[in-house]
Amino acid sequence: MSLLSSLNQALEKTRQIFTTAVNAKNIEELEAILLQADVGVTSTDYILSKIRSSKSESKNYRDVLFDILVNILQKPNYKMHSSKPAILMIIGTPGSGKTTTIAKLANLEQKNNKKVIIAASDTYRAAAAHQLEIWAKRTGTEIVFSQKGQDAGAVAFDTIQKAQSGKFDIVLIDTAGRLHTRKDLMDEAKKIKRVCQKFRSDAPDDIWLILDATVGQNGIEQAKIFHKELNLTGVVITKLDGTAKGGVIIPIALELGLPIRYLGLGETIEDLVEFEPNGFVKELLSS
């Protein structure tokens, strides 16, 4: 299946709500639908004010919504990094899809002939390391595990060292799931960050938050706290398949000003697409 048709399929439930938005009878009805679509109060107000000032003559809201949504989603520009190895840290709440996304990213980068190494820095769950090992074997990815009770920071350290000597292109750091309210785990994430800075002051190049789309509006509050604590550089939205809450992507871009980097569309290693605002909004509003 092509990436575009998997995106089309994954967005089915979210699209059902957005196509009713396109055909709303008036702006009050549109407002109610956007709120139902997990766009949230702040972003819905923003969209409505843009529509009011657009004086669009069209019979439905499709064109005006298209322009506004693309504009919101393409604003947080993403800066590519050229460091070698590039260091990418993955964080998020338990079960959001961090480990799965790491495996998908490793697969994707290796297809682009990049040499990838993974730090299994989730040292809390033995099952997490095992899960990564299975994925890594399948994709032939190098992986560094915790030795004799090493903590998450030490695993990251060993991995980066190995990446430098082995001339790897990308280091992917998996981490333990943390609730944004747990100070100890947030401190651990900061420690991993400091370990990266020992190698290079501007490392890690990226810290991406993995956000489960099915949590909808709650994801915004989570993301705000993670961003405040760790200074994120991007977001990956997972589990878009099968949820009607895909509208949450709009407040993520507008209210956090963070670029959406990838979308998780399923449980297999191929189910990851790079985010592209135009194509996404086209799928979202297509009837």
Ligand X SMILES: Nc1nc2c(ncn2[C@@H]2O[C@H](COP(=O)(O)OP(=O)(O)O)[C@@H](O)[C@H]2O)c(=O)[nH]1
Binding residues for Mg ion, rule: CB under 5 A, are 98-99, 128
The torsion angles phi and psi of 259, rounded to 5 degrees, stand at -75, 135
How many residues of this chain bind ligand X (CB under 6 A)?
18
Residue whose pair of structure tokens reads 């769950």 in the numeric block: 125
Minimal distance, residue 92 CB to Mg ion, in Å = 9
Binding-site member from 40, 85, 92, 234 for ligand X (CB under 6 A):
92
The smaller minimum CB distance to Mg ion, of residues 189 and 281, is found at 189
The smaller minimum CB distance to ligand X, of residues 65 and 264, is found at 264
251 binds, among Mg ion, ligand X, none (CB under 5 to 8 A by kind): none
Question: Under the criterion CB under 6 A, does residue 95 sit at the interface with ligand X?
Answer: yes
Question: Under the criterion CB under 6 A, does residue 166 sit at the interface with ligand X?
Answer: no
92 binds, among Mg ion, ligand X, none (CB under 5 to 8 A by kind): ligand X
Binding-site member from 12, 70, 94, 114 for ligand X (CB under 6 A):
94
Question: Under the criterion CB under 6 A, does residue 97 sit at the interface with ligand X?
Answer: yes
Binding-site member from 163, 241, 246, 280 for ligand X (CB under 6 A):
241
DSSP notation for 82-93? --SSEEEEEE-S
259: preceding bond cis by omega (within 30 degrees):
no
The smaller minimum CB distance to ligand X, of residues 158 and 271, is found at 271
Residues between 59 and 88 that touch ligand X (CB under 6 A): none
Question: Under the criterion CB under 6 A, does residue 12 sit at the interface with ligand X?
Answer: no
H/E element, 210 = strand 206-212
243 binds, among Mg ion, ligand X, none (CB under 5 to 8 A by kind): none
Residues between 170 and 189 that touch ligand X (CB under 6 A): 177
Helix (H, G, I), strand (E, B) or coil at 11: coil
Scanning the chain, the segments in alpha helix (DSSP H) are 3-10, 12-22, 27-36, 41-54, 62-74, 98-111, 126-139, 152-165, 183-199, 218-230, 249-256, 277-285
The smaller minimum CB distance to Mg ion, of residues 98 and 104, is found at 98
Residue pair 258/223 in contact by the 8 Å Cβ criterion: yes
Distance CA 50, CA 250 (A): 14
267 binds, among Mg ion, ligand X, none (CB under 5 to 8 A by kind): ligand X
Minimal distance, residue 175 CB to ligand X, in Å = 9
Through-space distance between the first and last CA atoms of the chain, rounded to whole angstroms: 20
Distance CA 70, CA 279 (A): 9
Minimal distance, residue 98 CB to Mg ion, in Å = 5
b/e string for 136-157 if b means 16 or more Cβ within 10 A? beebebbbbbbeeebebbbbbb
Minimal distance, residue 198 CB to ligand X, in Å = 25
Question: Which residues in this chain contact ligand X in the complex, by CB under 6 A?
Answer: 92, 94-100, 177, 210, 238-239, 241, 264-267, 271
